[in-house]
Structure 1
Amino acid sequence: MSKSEVSTPLKRHPLSAAIAMLPVSLLAMGTAPGAQAQEQAEAAALLPGLNVTADWLGPPTEASERTYTGARTVVEEEELQDAGALNLEDALRPVPGVTVLDETGTGVLPNIGVRGLNPLRSERLQILVDGYPIAIGPYSNVGVSLFPVTLPSLQAVDIVRGGASVHYGPNNVGGVVNFVTKPIPAETSQTLRERVTIAEETGNVFTDTYYRVGGQATDKLDLQFQANVQRGDGFRDHSDTKVDNLILDARYYLNDQHELASQLQYYRVDAELPGALTPEAYEQDRTQSQRPYDGYEADMSRATFTWTYTPADNVEFQWRNFVHDADRTFFFGQNLSGNGHWADPGLDSTHIADSPRLFTVLGTEPRLAIRHGRHDITLGARFVSEDVEFDVNRLELSSGNRSVARDWHLDTRAMAFYVSDTVSFLNDRLNVTPGLRYEDVDMDFRDNLSGNTEDNNAEELLPGLTVGYQASDDLFVFANSQRSLVPVQIAQTTREGAVANETAWNHELGARLQVTPDLFSSATLFRIDYEDQIQFNRSTSRFENLGETRHQGIELANRWSLNNQWELGLGYTFLDTEQLSGDNEGNELPNAPTHKVSAEAVYTYQAWDASVNWVYVSESYSDAANTEEETSNGSAGELPDYNLVTARVGRDFAVGGDRVLNLGLAVNNLLDEDYYFRGVDVSPVGRVPQPGRSFILEAQLDF
């Protein structure tokens, strides 16, 4: 594909041969007939000429999703931007198997879980941005306590729930989520977007201003700049939030064989955190805050650099490098009088703690892809270094005395090697990919206060096997089985309790079927066999090894194009979890609802578009003991089921030349559903209210 066709070239998935054989109706499913012809033409033009690539997932497109050998959902730009979602977390709610707990209403601290795995701090997912790991500590601190991603800067979100563990690790038990930022356009263009969210309950206003400019600077150099500024309050008291996200992209074409790409980013957030409420306070006024000292400040500077060398159509070498320097601090009140839990929102704070974390992380990853006959071979290696300062300080309110409660240092050195071979049979209809990943992790911990040191090493072979079969023009069947690793985290190794490196086996069996030219359906059976799963117990402030756990169920999705105006979507997830050992043997896992239903209706007519989305989530437990009756401080108890309905209407206006103005109005949580989850992180005790009804006004100008 030449540079003149598109500035960010699409890459070839190992199963692109199967994609090329898909019927036109399958490639165009879910689009209006007017758009089908264009997509069909693009598919016909692109697929035959695509080269082999070291990127296993390939482009985040509907075509890649359809023939991927595992459960995968690509949420494209239109769905992200035009669904009336309150924030990025909210936009992912309808995805099969995904659980979202909204801590702030502003999206600065996401809590995303998959298939019954702990959603708090999104710690059971391998989260990437443009293929690069984004966790503040990819090995030692996998929880996303700093999330340098904002919704307007995204082109797509690629949620891969199975089949990617060999190529993307560690911490991939729940799968891989790749946030794909907007590519540099082939021709110079600009976007200006303003979004205002008004919370009905309090009248709080949150503004989101976005600007992008990009295109060809010279015949060989493409540049793009994005700026996103967010200001205002969430739907509760004590929720003032400021976010700045600046991104600079560059791509340089040395010649037909060599391409250089780089991204620089600066992200900063300063936010008040309203925290959890006691049950009594929640019933009085769910928008209030009982945590006046809780807050959050963070900034991150990131840089990535990729060299892609393509000496021939059947060979690609890619060398990816990344570095980030991050500083994040939580501020939180503590009651250390001994009269109850230190985080009980009903107790006055005796101390204010702050927990600064300084991270310097760098990584380098060469990858080689070779096609030889019926074999697509991928070889890769990665080295990651993490230098972490992990502190806690306390201010005693009565005396003004300040003390150092924790002063830790952690050095992590990790090496990973992986290899896979996609072998094609039956005229490329059957693809079998055995693979193996090797992880060698060395963590050196030092307590600067006591002088104690501790080492934690992990050395694991992680095999995997994926199979994809194009059984007919309309039916694609897949299966996979892969082993995953989560190294012990720094916060776990230094607390009381027996914890260990976590491993799990992930299994999937699924199918995607073009039932009719207008109806597409998919079904996935999944099972996770987890060893040594670790959960945080809010009541005791300790990490507990739950031992063996099992997660299994089914995910169903359907998409139906009624005509060139109407499109319907329907999804269902059934989840069965069980603790197989320990004191809570036989119990369900926390935050693991059994049923989830999602439905969507989209209507387009000329320049108008409208959508209605509904998500239902059944009740679940908030602790491993499966406590049903709520405790007096709200630390445990059953979580309620809830229904969320969001509606949006928008219209495009031509405003001269190539300028297009889109105006939109959305109502989020249309039915004003009242629901909550239990506390998280620095406010672990009590109910955390979820956002009520809000109104969103949007205007976007493309020119």
Structure 2
Amino acid sequence: MINKHVGIQAQANWVRGQGFRDNSPSNISNYWLDGIYDINENNGIKAYYQYYDFAIAQPGSLSEQDYKINRFANLRPLNQKGGRSQRFGAVYENRFGDLDRVGGTFSFTYYGQLMTRDFQVSSSYNSANMVTCFSEAACRAAGLPAGYNLAVPYYATNYNGWAEVENPVHSINNAFEPKVNLIVNTGKVKQTFIMGLRFMTTTFLQRQYLNTNECATKTSGEGAGFLCEGANMMSGWKPHIKHGVYRNWNNWRNNYTAVYLSDRIEAWDGRFFIVPGLRYAFVQYNNENAANWMQIPEKDLRKIKHMNNWMPSTNIGFIPVQGDHNVLTYFNYQRSFVPPQLDVLSYGGAEYFTQHFDTVEAGARYTYKDKFSFNADYFRIWARDFATGQYSVYTSGPMKGNVRPINGYSQGVELELYYRPIRGLQFHAAFNYIDTRVTSHGPLTDLNGDVLKGTSYNKHFPFVSPFQFIFDARYNWRKTTIGISSYFYSRAYSGISNSAAGGYYGMQYYSGGNNYESVLNSGYQCEAWCMTQHEGLLPWYWVWNIQVSQIFWENGRHRVTGSLQINNIFNMKYYFTGIGSSPAGLQPAPGRSVTAYLNYTF
């Protein structure tokens, strides 16, 4: 604080160096300025400004063969992303009345953001192919299904039609939110009302450019008409003309309005409470590039033009035992939604629907003083019109290639324990069991729209580990803290077909047939991508970390602290798949690493 009314805090951090993958430079800068102005005991203003910029490599996934050779290799050196963002805002708060009887706070918040970002990938972004063949017979002999007449490894660039793809975006966000917290306490019953309105506008300008290899091709021999005769001849960056008709550009001007009200009712000295609540959200998507939507039925566009969502919630709690031994029982219900996600890169389609979720949980928590705590919880989430990891797509008709929504549920049990046997020592453990199922009877398809055997009914959602375990311990002694932490995730399916086998190509279902086009026809190795996401079962992993932190010096509010952390102590080898940086293939997880940290607070 500069004086009793005004205070300023500045923060800055920089990250420079290499990521854990080979040839993966990282450059991140973050600056933050906070200010506070206490006008008087009942009125105050807080404001902040943040500037953030980054430029990092995105090594992406590897084929199974390359992963076994060197899991830290970067065979997609052109995949990278960067951007900069400015966030700023201010909050005015007024405190009124008597909080012990009738009183509360009124606040008005303004939030703004200016953001520009760009990510660059190659046209083999979704491929992890290792087969080389230049005729249908050769491709069949290499194990590919009918319909493939050529294929090259995912890291190859020396062929006509290979391209770099840039996806720059500029967005402007403005929002404001008036909010009132009102407490009414009659003695026997205490009520806390929360009511407010949030309004946000977003201008979202999206472009796509291609830098295509237009080299002269071989006139004879293997790869004639496809492989470059000499060096690559790049065209330079040009707008992507989609479907040969229009530029793949999108201008969005969207509005979001939410009105909310809740009432926390407490009785019996707080031993019983119920909190009913209701939120109404109105979302408007306004797209200024009508040509981009020429294939989409008008009824589907109307559904996302004006979206109305009512979201009720209820929280109930009861404390039957209170004192040194304390027991809390609770029940919670909440409805939420996810608006349509349009033009998703990983499969080139979109979600022309709103996802809805109803969540219920019930549980109990037992505590003994500040030494012991145990919580047991059951939850169930019903999903309606859910985009399950982009694994169910339309295979024909005007919506071909876009996500087909499904219905399903996720349910499970959560157990959590804290134990503090002596001063300064704490143990923490948690266990989760999760069961997920599809309840709709839609056709079973992979990312490319290839129809698989059976339906999606009763299948597990991909990427959900049914068994999860967390353990950590911490000991504080004087100015030193020693901690150890670990987390375990069991095996998970990588595809909606729930096949435990599959191998690298997904032997049951190698992607391709329905959506395949040659490079010469489309400028890509595949029109709707080369590889199925199916990688069989993902591996389990159990990672351990250790950390030591120390306060080296302090004087008043000035302090110097430092820490040393070893992550993945035992160098556990595991991978993911289906994530954004390259959906096909194996995405390696970090190995053992050491992090040193030094901080000066003044």
TM over 0.5: yes
Query: Matched residues in 2 for 1:657 and 1:353: separation?
Result: 53
Q: Deviations over 1:468-495 (max 9, x none)?
A: 2222221122111111111112326996
Query: Matched residues in 2 for 1:351 and 1:322: separation?
Result: 39
Range 517-526 or range 453-462, more displaced? 453-462
Pair 1:515–1:564, CA change in 2 (3 A): closer
Pair 1:644–1:571, CA change in 2 (3 A): same
Query: Matched residues in 1 for 2:387 and 2:291: separation?
Result: 27
Query: Matched residues in 2 for 1:367 and 1:651: separation?
Result: 41
Q: Deviations over 1:70-121 (max 9, x none)?
A: xxxxxxxxxxxxxxxxxxxxxxxxxxxxxxxxxxxxxxxxxxxxxxxxxxxx
Aligned-residue offset at 1:252:
0.8
- The corresponding residue for 1:368 is 180
* Aligned residues: CA RMSD: 2.8
Amino acid at match of 2:503: E
For structure 2, which runs of at least 5 residues remain unmatched after alignment? 126-133, 135-146, 215-232, 241-247, 394-399, 443-454, 506-530
Q: Deviations over 1:214-251 (max 9, x none)?
A: xx123311111111111111111131011111111111
Amino acid at match of 1:685: A
Query: Matched residues in 2 for 1:660 and 1:315: separation?
Result: 36
Query: Matched residues in 2 for 1:655 and 1:510: separation?
Result: 43
Aligned-residue offset at 1:364:
0.8
Pair 1:409–1:618, CA change in 2 (3 A): same
Aligned-residue offset at 1:552:
0.7
Aligned-residue offset at 1:608:
3.0
Pair 1:328–1:656, CA change in 2 (3 A): closer
Query: Matched residues in 2 for 1:467 and 1:339: separation?
Result: 59
- The corresponding residue for 2:327 is 475
- The corresponding residue for 2:287 is 445
Amino acid at match of 2:474: V
Range 579-588 or range 531-540, more displaced? 531-540
Aligned-residue offset at 1:525:
1.1
In the alignment, is the contact (CA less than 8 A) between 2:124 and 2:155 conserved in 1?
no
Aligned-residue offset at 1:545:
3.0
Corresponding residue to 2:414 among 551, 555, 561: 555
Q: Do residues 459 (structure 1) and 308 (structure 2) align? A: yes
Pair 1:563–1:289, CA change in 2 (3 A): same
Aligned-residue offset at 1:607:
3.3
Q: 2:565 aligns to what SS in structure 1?
A: strand
Pair 1:663–1:486, CA change in 2 (3 A): closer
> Which runs of structure 2 are paired with 1:597-608 in the superposition (5 Å)?
597-608=469-480
Aligned-residue offset at 1:302:
0.8
Ranked by relative contact order (alpha carbons within 8 Å, sequence separation 6 or more), the top structure is: 1
In the alignment, is the contact (CA less than 8 A) between 2:388 and 2:406 conserved in 1?
no
Range 496-505 or range 218-227, more displaced? 496-505
> Which runs of structure 2 are paired with 1:58-207 in the superposition (5 Å)?
none
Range 392-401 or range 323-332, more displaced? 392-401
In the alignment, is the contact (CA less than 8 A) between 1:483 and 1:503 conserved in 2?
yes
Q: Deviations over 1:304-326 (max 9, x none)?
A: 11111112231211111101011
Q: Do residues 666 (structure 1) and 565 (structure 2) align? A: yes
Q: Deviations over 1:608-638 (max 9, x none)?
A: 3211112111000122222322332683221
Amino acid at match of 1:443: Y
Query: Matched residues in 2 for 1:497 and 1:369: separation?
Result: 39
Aligned-residue offset at 1:501:
0.8
For structure 1, which runs of at least 5 residues remain unmatched after alignment? 1-215
- The corresponding residue for 1:225 is 10
> Which runs of structure 2 are paired with 1:266-281 in the superposition (5 Å)?
266-281=51-66
Aligned-residue offset at 1:388:
0.7
Corresponding residue to 1:504 among 357, 376, 389: 357
Amino acid at match of 1:677: F
Query: Matched residues in 2 for 1:658 and 1:307: separation?
Result: 26
- The corresponding residue for 1:631 is 504
- The corresponding residue for 2:483 is 611
Corresponding residue to 2:72 among 274, 283, 287: 287
Query: Matched residues in 1 for 2:343 and 2:153: separation?
Result: 21
Q: Greater Rg, structure 1 or structure 2?
A: 2
Q: Do residues 310 (structure 1) and 182 (structure 2) align? A: no
Q: Deviations over 1:176-206 (max 9, x none)?
A: xxxxxxxxxxxxxxxxxxxxxxxxxxxxxxx
TM-score (norm: length of structure 2): 0.76
Query: Matched residues in 2 for 1:639 and 1:519: separation?
Result: 36
Q: Deviations over 1:403-451 (max 9, x none)?
A: 3221111111121111111112223211111111111111111327658
Q: 1:280 aligns to what SS in structure 2?
A: helix
Q: Do residues 647 (structure 1) and 546 (structure 2) align? A: yes
Corresponding residue to 2:577 among 659, 667, 678: 678
- The corresponding residue for 1:321 is 110
Aligned-residue offset at 1:549:
1.2
Corresponding residue to 2:202 among 372, 386, 406: 386
Query: Percent same amino acid among aligned pairs?
Result: 22
Query: Matched residues in 1 for 2:293 and 2:588: separation?
Result: 42
In the alignment, is the contact (CA less than 8 A) between 1:538 and 1:684 conserved in 2?
no
- The corresponding residue for 1:419 is 261
- The corresponding residue for 1:435 is 277
- The corresponding residue for 1:574 is 433
In the alignment, is the contact (CA less than 8 A) between 1:251 and 1:262 conserved in 2?
yes
Corresponding residue to 2:169 among 346, 357, 360: 357
In the alignment, is the contact (CA less than 8 A) between 1:308 and 1:317 conserved in 2?
yes
Query: Matched residues in 2 for 1:340 and 1:543: separation?
Result: 26
Query: Matched residues in 2 for 1:577 and 1:397: separation?
Result: 44
Amino acid at match of 2:407: E
Q: Do residues 345 (structure 1) and 134 (structure 2) align? A: no
Aligned-residue offset at 1:505:
0.4
Pair 1:664–1:492, CA change in 2 (3 A): closer
In the alignment, is the contact (CA less than 8 A) between 1:334 and 1:343 conserved in 2?
no
Pair 1:634–1:442, CA change in 2 (3 A): closer
Amino acid at match of 1:549: G
Aligned-residue offset at 1:517:
5.1
> Which runs of structure 2 are paired with 1:519-534 in the superposition (5 Å)?
519-534=372-387
